[in-house]
Structure 1
Amino acid sequence: ISPLEQVELLTGFYHNEWNLHPEYVKAVKNAICLASSSDGSLYGKTGTGQVNGENRNGWFIGFVESSGHTV
């Protein structure tokens, strides 16, 4: 999966485009929550991609939720 595909997947998950049960969405969000404070929460994950069997790139994707806003 490419970094762009990973972002598209996370966006679809965040907006629950697949009508997943809310408990499942909450469980995944809890699993990818990296930090949380009164200011907001940081969610993210890493990934790597291969070209000809060799790791060629790595990425970190995620989002921040704060006061009802998501970035």
Structure 2
Amino acid sequence: MSSSKLSRDQTSNPTSSTNPTPKGRIHRSSKQKVENSNFEENLPPEVSMADNRTMAQLLQAPTEG
């Protein structure tokens, strides 16, 4: 039973993750530039965490070589 609950959560997560992104904002072409500059700051913690991972990988790559 707990395994089926896990799979349910995993299927529900990606959907809710895509939902918070309003398409109305992207529709505004005049404010697109302003939105893009503030986009990184408004990114959810999940994205910033992924960014930190890539940064760590990039920093580690040159150090190893």
TM-score clears 0.5 = no
Highest CA radius of gyration, 1 or 2? 2
User: Which structure shows the higher strand fraction?
Assistant: 1
TM-score, normalised on structure 2?
0.26
User: Which structure shows the higher helix fraction?
Assistant: 2
